[in-house]
Amino acid sequence: LPPPPAGAPLGRIDADTYSCYAGATKFDQLPISNKTKDGLRKAEFVDMTDIQRASLPHALCGRDILGAAKTGSGKTLAFLIPVLEKLYRERWGPEDGVGSIIISPTRELGAQLFDVLKAVGKFHNFSAGLLIGGRKDVNTEKEHVNELNILVCTPGRLLQHMDETPNFDCSQLQVLVLDEADRILDVGFKKTLNAIISQLPKHRQTFLFSATQTKSVQDLARLSLKDPEYLSVHEES
Ligand code: ADP
Ligand code: MG
């Protein structure tokens, strides 16, 4: 594989240049920052899973993704890596506010993916917060939410901040992630999600990952994605 063009921001590299990364099998072969590579190495992630191999070259190239792959196939890194890289390449800093919002169906899944973000994003300087309701006091959160770069949230708590937090600002949002979208919809969050998406800036990159492709996932995709790459990875039977 050719080396990534030195210093070139990924968003501006054209599709042809990028197709040369389509054959990558290891994270180290991807044109990503050393900070992310170090985080992956430290967490002992070396070889990409199928969904990661299929989606990362597109995602790193700035495209929206509609990805379907079964539970346990490694969807989390398929979106966390491009989130980190996008903000890194935009030189996102403490004053830039919310650059990425990752929506998860449940508190437990949100907490799990937050742990992966902390591990893989360890060498970056971004601030991240887990906004999932429950025991945490929403008023304390309200004072700090505007200082965070990456928000991992459940739909209900995110909408609560959008509605109630003074000066809550996501106008500079770069990347939106809808993780386990089928489950988000199963839990009855369709209206909440629509309300959230209607308040987000339209110029952004969006990743929608799901274990199954249901009709309601496709409806959500139509609402939230722009000219997406459809990726479906199933096991050989
Ligand atoms: P999904 O969201 O598709 O259900 P996860 O992202 O939660 O899957 O990953 C499932 C498991 O696989 C996790 O334990 C994770 O640490 C592990 N995993 C993910 N990607 C890799 C990889 N490239 N190499 C080794 N293990 C991985
Ligand atoms: Mg998952």
End-to-end alpha-carbon separation of the chain, Å? 31
Average pLDDT over residues 119-134: 95
* pLDDT tens column, 30-73: 989 999 999 999 999 999 999 999 999 999 988 999 999 999 99
DSSP string, 94-111: GGG---EEEE-SSHHHHH
CA atoms within 13 A of residue 129's CA, in its CB half-sphere: 22
* pLDDT tens column, 191-221: 999 999 999 999 999 999 999 989 999 999 9
Distance 49 CA to ligand 1 centre (A): 8
Distance 237 CA to ligand 2 centre (A): 22
Domain range list for the chain: 10-233
**Residue with the nearest Cα to atom 9 of ligand 1?**
74
- What confidence score (pLDDT) does residue 10 get? 45
Give Cβ neighbours of residue 23 (< 8 Å, ≥ 6 apart). Answer: 1
Residue 1 has pLDDT above 80, yes or no: no
- What confidence score (pLDDT) does residue 68 get? 94
Phi and psi at residue 209, to the nearest 5°: -115, 145
* pLDDT tens column, 91-103: 999 899 999 999 9
**Residue with the nearest Cα to atom 23 of ligand 1?**
48
Interatomic CA distance for residues 121 and 140, integer angstroms? 24
Enter the tokens of residue 221: 């995709």
Q: Contact, 202 vs 38, CB < 8 A?
A: no
**Residue with the nearest Cα to atom 21 of ligand 1?**
74
Which atom of ligand 1 is found nearest the CA of 77?
6
* pLDDT tens column, 156-166: 999 999 999 98
Per DSSP, what are the bridge partners of residue 101? 151, 176
Residue 9 has pLDDT above 50, yes or no: no
DSSP string, 222-235: HHH-SSPEEEEE--
Is the complex ipTM higher than 0.90?
yes
Q: Output DSSP code: residue 31.
A: S
State whether CATH 3.40.50.300 applies to domain 10-233. Answer: yes
Phi and psi at residue 115, to the nearest 5°: -65, -40
- What confidence score (pLDDT) does residue 47 get? 97
Interatomic CA distance for residues 150 and 135, integer angstroms? 21
Confidence of residue 134 (pLDDT cuts 50, 70, 90): confident
